[in-house]
Amino acid sequence: RFLIQTQFISAELMEDQLLLLLESLERKIVSQQLKLVRTQITLGSYEGDEPFLVDARLLCFKHEEEQGLTMDLVKMSGVQLWADGTAVPRDQPFEAVAALYVALYVLNLLSG
C-alpha cells in the first residue's frame, strides 16, 4: 500500500513541490498544511472554476514565509489560494490536490 501511495505521489507531484514539502517538513508545518488540504478536498468543487472558501485560520503561520510556501505548494497543485481563505481551482486539479494530500499525510505520519 505504501509503495502504491509513493508511486502515486511521485507521478502527480512536480519536483518543485517535493522541494517545498521538504522545506515544510523542516519548518514543522506539515500538519497544518495537511488540515488545509483536507479542507480543500472536502469543500472544493473541482468542476469548473467555481471559487470556494477554506478556513483562513489554517493560513495563519508563525512566519510569513511559511504562509507563502504553503500557498505556492497549493498553487502548484492547480488551486489559487488567497490569504482570506478564497480558493479558485484551475485546470481540474483534483488529482494533483489528492496527491498533495497523500504526500502531506505520509510526511505527517513519518514525522509523528
Whether residue 30 contacts residue 108, with contact meaning beta carbons closer than 8 Å, is answered with: yes
Report pLDDT for 12.
Answer: 63
* Proportion of the chain above pLDDT 90, given as a percent: 53
Question: Cβ(103)–Cβ(21) under 8 Å?
Answer: yes
Instruction: Give me the pLDDT at residue 45, please.
Output: 64
pLDDT at position 48 is 67
Predicted confidence band of residue 47 (pLDDT cuts 50, 70, 90): low
**pLDDT tens digits, one per residue of 9-39:** 555 677 889 899 999 999 999 999 999 999 8
Entry pTM:
0.84
Domain that holds residue 102: 1-111
- Domains held by the chain: number: 1
Q: How confident is the model at residue 109 (pLDDT cuts 50, 70, 90)?
A: very high
